[in-house]
């Protein structure tokens, strides 16, 4: 394992460890976990907390229609541990002010740090329901949603959004200004067009246009896989912080590594899989837990030069006991790592 520290690490750590205030609440650092459906669930966040140093975590996407009546004890999505709430934001996906307001009010009552409105997901079902990135097609509707939620709750309101449905950045800049005026406390911007399924790299420089357009904090998101990428995003765009998605699933200790100089030992990858298997077993029924593991394993396997073989090996697991056995048999300290993940696996 390459344990060298980049020359700019102390400067990067200083930047990331500068506290930031969002909606009157202070967050200890500027390196956050991005919301990802099927991945940033309560089991993963439990393991993430073990490694530490994540400034703010986001739940996986929750349906605004379902949240008002969801039972956290049995819901696979709208669930958490009480100790998480002071630094946990609930992401909601919905299409109308009414449904998002009722859901946001429930989120506030439960004690979450804040609420995040999804304007980035472009999955077919989401677009059909006129939620997620579909809101970017009608900016006035997107603004109305934020305005209504802001009026209804006192906790910080976040908006995660993409460039839009064309590659031009102008409409996104205009929308950012309107979202700020509507009461958003923080914008998390992913500089890809909405239909893009990660087939092209994000246009990182577009984050700069969003940052320059508003006075509220703007966090950048998109293909941050190394400390160098993180440093460059901050340096070239002027954004206030960085939201990490897929790489956080691949290596959840990166938060401690990038902010505090944590140096993982050679057993870290096996340790991670074993901890996640136990957490999945605790949080989900066997079928759902295994399904969540199968969503996770491509990102984990992308760490390794022979990741496809590792992915095939773990695909044979039928139980969490199988997962633990395979981890002990096949994840070794001497495995060759990729400096950045294998995108052929990363984009599955």
Q: Which residues are catalytic?
A: 121
| Three-state DSSP class for residue 188 | strand
Gap between the Cα atoms of 4 and 18, Å rounded: 23
80: left (phi over 0), alpha (psi -120 to 50) or beta: beta
Gap between the Cα atoms of 80 and 124, Å rounded: 27
Q: How many other CB atoms sit within 10 Å of the CB of residue 338?
A: 17
Angle at 157 between CA 151 and CA 159, to 5 degrees: 120
* Residue from 74, 215, 97, 85 nearest 145 by CA: 97
Gap between the Cα atoms of 218 and 176, Å rounded: 10
Contact between 76 and 284 (Cβ < 8 Å): yes
| Three-state DSSP class for residue 32 | strand
Q: What are phi and psi of 261, to 5 degrees?
A: 70, 20
Distances (CA, A) of 104 to 73, 81, 100, 189: 19, 18, 6, 21
Tokens of 95: 């299409």
Gap between the Cα atoms of 17 and 30, Å rounded: 6
């Amino acid at each position: 394992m390459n344990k060298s520290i980049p020359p700019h690490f102390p400067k990067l750590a200083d930047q990331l460890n500068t506290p930031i205030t969002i909606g009157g609440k202070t967050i200890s650092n500027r390196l956050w976990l991005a919301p990802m459906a099927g991945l940033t669930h309560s089991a993963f966040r439990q393991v993430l907390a073990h490694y530490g140093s994540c400034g703010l975590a986001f739940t996986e996407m929750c349906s605004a229609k379902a949240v008002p009546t969801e039972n956290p004890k049995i819901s696979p999505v709208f669930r958490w541990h009480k100790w998480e709430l002071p630094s946990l934001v609930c992401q909601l996906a919905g299409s109308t002010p009414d449904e998002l307001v009722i859901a946001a009010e429930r989120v506030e009552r439960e004690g979450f740090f804040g609420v995040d409105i999804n304007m980035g997901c472009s999955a077919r079902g989401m677009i059909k329901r006129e939620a997620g990135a579909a809101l970017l097609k009608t900016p006035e509707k997107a603004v109305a949603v934020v305005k209504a939620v802001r009026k209804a709750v006192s906790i910080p309101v976040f908006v995660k959004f993409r460039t839009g449905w064309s590659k031009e950045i102008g409409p996104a800049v205009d929308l950012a200004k309107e979202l700020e005026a509507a009461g958003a406390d923080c914008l998390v911007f992913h500089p890809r067009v909405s239909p893009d399924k990660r087939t092209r790299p994000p246009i990182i420089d577009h984050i700069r246009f969003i940052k320059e357009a508003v006075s509220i904090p703007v966090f950048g998101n998109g293909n941050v896989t190394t400390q160098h990428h993180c440093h460059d995003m901050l340096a070239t765009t002027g954004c206030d912080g960085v939201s990490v998605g897929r790489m956080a699933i691949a290596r959840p200790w990166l938060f401690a590594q990038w902010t505090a100089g944590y140096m993982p030992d050679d057993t870290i990858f096996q340790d991670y899989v074993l901890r996640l298997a136990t957490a999945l077993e605790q949080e989900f029924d066997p079928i759902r837990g295994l399904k969540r593991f199968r969503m996770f394993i491509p990102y984990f396997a992308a760490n390794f030069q022979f990741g496809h073989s590792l992915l095939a090996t773990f695909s044979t697991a039928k139980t969490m006991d199988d997962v633990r056995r395979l981890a002990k048999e096949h994840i070794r300290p001497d495995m060759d790592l990729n400096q950045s993940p294998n995108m052929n696996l990363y984009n599955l």
